[in-house]
Amino acid sequence: MIVLGSFGAIGGKKGRNERMVWFMLRRLMAAIPTLFIVVFLSFMIMHAAPGGPFDGERQLPPEIEQNLLAKYDLDKPLMTQFYLYVEGIVTEFDFGPSFKREDFTVTELIGQSWHVSARIGLSALTIALFAGATLGCMAALNQNSWIDYFVMALAMTGITIPSFVIAPVLSLFFGVWLNLLPSAGWNGGSLSNMILPVTALSLGPLAVIARLTRGGMIEVLRSNFVRTARAKGLPEGLVIRRHALRAGLLPVVSYLGPAMAALMTGSLVIEKIFGLPGLGRYFVDGALQRDYTLVLGVVILYSTLIITLNFVVDVMYGVLDPRVRASQ
């Protein structure tokens, strides 16, 4: 993604804007087919499933089964079903009825639960970004000191130990043994109930961000433009804040997409462990009960979010990094 072009290649202002638009269009042309492929493949896999959604429990009379199939559009040809499904999502944000919770549509189930996942996910992302970048900077500015070693040891732990191990241990330690915080439950989203899940969820991305920031900053602090800034006699604090940070944090920007994906998958287990009524838990329950439409809806929603975010990050990268900007 990073194309190292020469700085001399920057043309007139108009040419640059034009290039930027082309760049965005090209990225969009990659993002839309990707999304289509994800939706198409998930849809087809779901429909290739052995046994229909109404098999198993009891034998239905053929007329009733016919009615049921008609209600869920399952009697139509596969491509028509796919078309109707996509049309429903695009025009009305309608993901169809839930197969297992008959009184609900998938959209209603998502509507009930998304805010829980969004709250813990965004809190975890914010914490991971700020704490991770701060720790990474501290490590880079004190390379090979005890601070550096401590941060890197912490990062190694965060990367190797998965969240579903950290979460129960945190819950056991702070919730059960020390009895400081509630060990599980949502309680309307009160702060004390959010601390443990958000900590457990943010630790993995935090560790990666700390490592990326450290690497980026160490490289940038040795680069020519930072030397120039220092040679001009700028105070060290200003050199770091105004010159080094912007370039040093670029690797973190490109990690935003994967970070989001990590948080979404992480929230599946975190919500299960802490008993939070979020989207992840609906998804897991749906998967265990083979509620195809619910699973499909959540996958499509999450994939759209991730692919959109990746697109935004790509464009942002183009704006932030003069090297990419120049080469477009």
Partner 1 sequence: MTDAAIGGDAGKITEIKGRSLWDDARRRLFANKAAVTAMILLGLLFLMAIVGPWLSPHGFNEQNYSYTSGAPTLSAPTGEGGTTFYLFGTDANGRDIFSRTWIGARVSLAIGFVATAVSLVIGVVYGATAGFIGGRVDNLMMRIVDILYSIPHMFIFIILLVVFGRSGGWPNLLMLFAVIGALEWLTMGRIVRGQTLSVKEKEFIEAAEAAGVSNWTMIRRHIVPNVLGPVVVYMTLTVPGVIMIESFLSFLGLGVQEPLTSWGRLISEGAQEMETAPWMLLFPVLFMAMTLFCFNFIGDGLRDALDPKDR
User: What minimum distance in Å lies between the beta carbon of 76 and partner 1?
Assistant: 20
Among 21, 118, 156, 319, binds partner 1 (CB under 8 A): 156
Terminal-to-terminal C-alpha distance of the chain: 11
Cα–Cα dist 45/143, whole Å: 50
What letter would DSSP give residue 144?
T
Among 162, 180, 227, 236, binds partner 1 (CB under 8 A): 162
Among 10, 74, 141, 159, binds partner 1 (CB under 8 A): 159
Query: Among residues 86 and 161, whose Cβ is nearest to partner 1?
Result: 161
Contact between 172 and partner 1 by CB under 8 A: the answer reads yes
Cα–Cα dist 167/159, whole Å: 14
Using CB under 8 A as the binding rule, the residues of this chain from 245 to 284 that contact partner 1 are: 257, 261, 264-265, 268-269, 272-273, 283-284
Among 37, 64, 70, 238, binds partner 1 (CB under 8 A): 37
b/e code 264-301 from CB counts within 10 Å (16+ = b): bebbbbbbbbbebbbbbbbbbbbeeebbbbbbbbbbbb
Among 10, 20, 24, 38, binds partner 1 (CB under 8 A): 38
Spatial contact of 205 and 259, defined as CB atoms under 8 Å apart: yes
Q: For partner 1, how many residues bind (rule: CB under 8 A)?
A: 50
Query: Among residues 230 and 272, whose Cβ is nearest to partner 1?
Result: 272
| Strand, coil or helix: 99 | coil
128-136, 213-221, 244-252, 295-303 -> range binding partner 1 (CB under 8 A): 295-303
21-29, 112-120, 144-152, 292-300 -> range binding partner 1 (CB under 8 A): 292-300
Cα–Cα dist 49/263, whole Å: 28
Residue type at position 35: L
Contact between 39 and partner 1 by CB under 8 A: the answer reads no
